[in-house]
A = this chain, B = another copy of it.
């Protein structure tokens, strides 16, 4: 049985004409002899309205009841699409999370999928063509509805594709693929035909908001052939696979940027073992994600400076957290800077090619752009720079890595 999974996000099912258009896309796959599992989000705006309704009753609603309300968004879309398909003479039906069932844990509001039962839908496919599964939801062992948290429909789609060993998992969205960088900033940005999971993870978590990070990690784990494709334009999208393309001309895949960064410097930290543990331990207790960390070597082996970045939205709580342990740590000054942007060059080829860091730093230097912090991984190099220069940095890096061509 040749199964494909197609996932449509909120903007793709925003109104009745769009739902009818999607039905035609699904029909085309059926006509190619495929069994199709469609995963749908709520119609654009619906989930936010439902959350508002919940909040208007209580600011601290029980998560279980929050999920009962919010899951109705996807419930409605899945049935509407089934109706649209039936009127095209396609044998389709809606499957709610509890009907499949998609078994999750009990973390209502941010549940994790534990198991997807495939037997009922496989039986259904013997006589039918399309199963439309409500995304973003599951069933706990308390027989109650769970939701997977915002953006969770991507994760639903990938988990379903893995469970059914689908040929591929197409994520239909309002962009037409993954680009070498943000096309709104760099006019010469190019759409990538292929990219590896790791590259996509770096691009996504660095601010290229195309796919949920969690869904890409899951696709990588189960080797699901992902494709990002436009709901509205009939153009090829970007495939995300294990190998990516060996044919890529450039040694890097893309340039990502992240605007909501805050830099914190603790100066005059006594140079003793255990200091980093104290600082980052206290931040971890408040679930603050620390990203780049630099510790300058101390000259006199007595005091050092520690610089790190966190999400800008966590700055106030980070400040109060760290100032509480100031005496214990013994640093002199707490210095913050929110006028910073993180720029990353991402590429699988970095594993095997040298010289990328050199090209990056030279390009920035030629443009008089000062680097605050550097961090590297196997497939990316990130720098923190002043936000005044981030567009210039992205354009010049895009050009010097040969991505303009």
Q: Which of A50, A54, A69, A93 has the most CB of B within 10 A?
A: A69
User: A342 vs B57: C-alpha distance in the bound complex, in angstroms?
Assistant: 46
User: Is B54 a contact of A83 with CB atoms below 8 Å?
Assistant: yes
Residues of B within 8 A of A86 (CB): 58, 61-62, 65
Across the interface, A93 reaches (CB within 8 A) one of B64, B75, B83, B84, namely: B64
Given A62-B86, A68-B75, A78-B68, A57 contacting B143 (CB threshold 8 A): no
| Contact of A16 with B by CB under 8 A | yes
User: A233 vs B259: C-alpha distance in the bound complex, in angstroms?
Assistant: 55
User: A295 vs B337: C-alpha distance in the bound complex, in angstroms?
Assistant: 95
Given A64-B93, A76-B50, A144-B99, A84 contacting B57 (CB threshold 8 A): yes
| Contact of A80 with B by CB under 8 A | yes
A127 shortest CB reach to chain B, Å: 14
Given A16-B56, A53-B16, A72-B76, A83 contacting B65 (CB threshold 8 A): yes
User: Is B99 a contact of A143 with CB atoms below 8 Å?
Assistant: yes
Copy count, this protein chain: 2
**Residues 267-300 (chain A) with a chain B CB within 8 angstroms:** none
User: Is A75 a contact of B72 with CB atoms below 8 Å?
Assistant: yes
Across the interface, A53 reaches (CB within 8 A) one of B61, B69, B76, B145, namely: B76
| Contact of A171 with B by CB under 8 A | no
| Contact of A308 with B by CB under 8 A | no
User: A16 vs B96: C-alpha distance in the bound complex, in angstroms?
Assistant: 27
When C-beta atoms are compared, the residue in chain B nearest to A60 turns out to be B87
User: A58 vs B20: C-alpha distance in the bound complex, in angstroms?
Assistant: 10
**Residues 88-111 (chain A) with a chain B CB within 8 angstroms:** 93-94, 96, 98-99
| Contact of A157 with B by CB under 8 A | no
User: A53 vs B96: C-alpha distance in the bound complex, in angstroms?
Assistant: 19
User: Is A79 a contact of B84 with CB atoms below 8 Å?
Assistant: no
User: Is A84 a contact of B99 with CB atoms below 8 Å?
Assistant: no
| Contact of A82 with B by CB under 8 A | yes
User: Is A93 a contact of B65 with CB atoms below 8 Å?
Assistant: yes
| Contact of A19 with B by CB under 8 A | yes
User: Is A96 a contact of B84 with CB atoms below 8 Å?
Assistant: no
User: A257 vs B129: C-alpha distance in the bound complex, in angstroms?
Assistant: 52
User: A57 vs B75: C-alpha distance in the bound complex, in angstroms?
Assistant: 15
User: A94 vs B96: C-alpha distance in the bound complex, in angstroms?
Assistant: 18
When C-beta atoms are compared, the residue in chain B nearest to A71 turns out to be B75
- Render A127-148 as a binary contact track against B, CB cut-off 8 A, 1 for contact: 0000000000000000111000
Residues of B within 8 A of A83 (CB): 54, 57-58, 61-62, 65-66
Residues of B within 8 A of A76 (CB): 50, 53, 68-69, 72
Binding site for B on A (CB under 8 A): 16, 19-20, 50, 53-54, 56-58, 60-62, 64-66, 68-69, 72, 75-76, 78-80, 82-84, 86-87, 93-94, 96, 98-99, 143-145
Other CB < 8 Å A-B pairs besides A68-B76, A75-B75, 20 of them? A16-B53, A16-B56, A16-B57, A20-B57, A53-B76, A53-B80, A57-B83, A58-B83, A58-B86, A58-B87, A62-B82, A62-B93, A64-B93, A65-B80, A65-B82, A65-B93, A69-B80, A72-B72, A96-B145, A99-B143
Q: 10 tightest CB-CB pairs across the interface, nearest first? A: A68-B79, A72-B72, A65-B79, A61-B83, A58-B87, A69-B79, A57-B83, A65-B82, A16-B56, A65-B83
